[in-house]
Amino acid sequence: MSRKTFAVAVAPLLLLLFLLPSPGLAQESANCLYCHNAMKGTIKVQGGAMVNLNVDAEKFKASVHAMLPCTECHLKFSDDTHASAGSAVPSDILSLSSKISIKYSSDPVAGAACTKCHEEEYQKVLSSVHGKNVIEKKQTDGALCVDCHGSPHYITKAKGGKSPVSRKYQAETCGKCHGNQELVEKYKLEENVMDSFSESFHGRKLLLGHTRAPVCASCHNAHDIRSKSDPLSPVFGKNKLETCGKCHKGANEKFIPAITHKRPGPIPHYGEKLLILLTMGVFAFIVIHVLLEAFADIRDAVFRKKEGK
């Protein structure tokens, strides 16, 4: 092969490589992103829901799933854009997808596909109070994967600083629902859990950056979350011996009731306010006293000088 023919043969390949999106992505994802990275705005899909069609290629590349072809989750789609590959979806995933379809408006199969690789977490969520809310009560209020981990395309390491389930943002994430008065009333949920946590010894330590202070999941689990009256809940009765004992060695039955989310009753509340008022009062008294004394000293000094003259 002459140099020229070689160049002619290779040039299109090089051009193709150049057109291919940057490394780190599966070829298939690149094909899908060719359209979806460029598309902006929302459309109404078959079910009637409004769907945002944009998938940001840069943010996808920074996610834990960057190496996955889009079709590892979007099993209904073949690698050739939207050509249907419906029959290829395994039946267990298809059946799961129909159970959660009220939560996933655009592609419930993708919402069920997580179980291929994260079966353990998925099973726990399904048997949790959150999963049952969706599957048994057929409500859309309970939390599934993306309610806690954020957009399915931009999921980052759970322990990482930016993840919505990281120590820094976790309380805020649970608080989207547990701090929402409408939901609290609808399900008669424990009131005030968010305030009581942030005002607690634990919440304050967390804010100060204490690396061992608990967040919500330290006491309630991340996926297997249950009502406190469920014997499998980590905050059910004596299970707290173990739950608190993870961090408080030798936690006994006298110690474990120390934390609930109940308001601490009026006496400690006003007691604390009174103490603050008292401290400020004493401090103000001292400051005024010192100022007056200084004023008296200056006045005396000035008058004595005058008398001396």
Instruction: Tell me, residue by residue from 160 to 179, as one string, x for binding to ligand HEC by CB under 6 A and - for no binding.
Output: -----x----xx-xx-xxx-
* Nearest by Cα to 224 from 106, 160, 131, 99: 131
Q: What is each CA distance from 277 to 201, 280, 287, 288, in whole angstroms?
A: 21, 5, 15, 16
Is 193 an interacting residue with respect to ligand HEC (CB under 6 A)?
yes
CA distances from 134 to 4, 110, 208 (A): 64, 17, 36
Burial class (CB in 10 A: 0-12, 13-18, 19+), 6: exposed
Cβ 303 to ligand HEC, closest distance in Å? Answer: 56
The answer to the question of residue 205 lying near ligand HEC (CB under 6 A) is yes
Residue 130 as a binder of ligand HEC (CB under 6 A): the answer is yes
Nearer to ligand HEC, 267 or 301 (CB): 267
Contacting ligand HEC within 274-303 (CB under 6 A): none
Q: Note whether 97 binds ligand HEC by CB under 6 A.
A: no
Stretch 7-36: interaction string toward ligand HEC, x if CB under 6 A: ----------------------x-xxxxxx
Q: CA quadruple 89, 95, 96, 99: dihedral positive or negative?
A: positive
Question: Mask 238-267, x = binds ligand HEC (CB under 6 A)?
Answer: --x--xx-xxx------xx-xxxx------
Interface with ligand HEC (CB under 6 A), residue from 15, 95, 137, 273: 137
Can residue 61 be called a binding residue for ligand HEC (CB under 6 A)?
no
CA dist 255 to 133, 207, 258, Å? Answer: 33, 23, 6
Of the candidates 197, 193, 161, 163, the one whose C-alpha atom is nearest the C-alpha of residue 177 is 193
Minimum Å gap between C-beta 251 and ligand HEC is 7
98 binds ligand HEC, rule: CB under 6 A:
no
How many angstroms separate the Cα of 105 from the Cα of each of 45, 52, 71?
8, 11, 17
Q: Which stretch binds ligand HEC (CB under 6 A): 15-23, 84-92, 140-148, 274-282?
A: 140-148
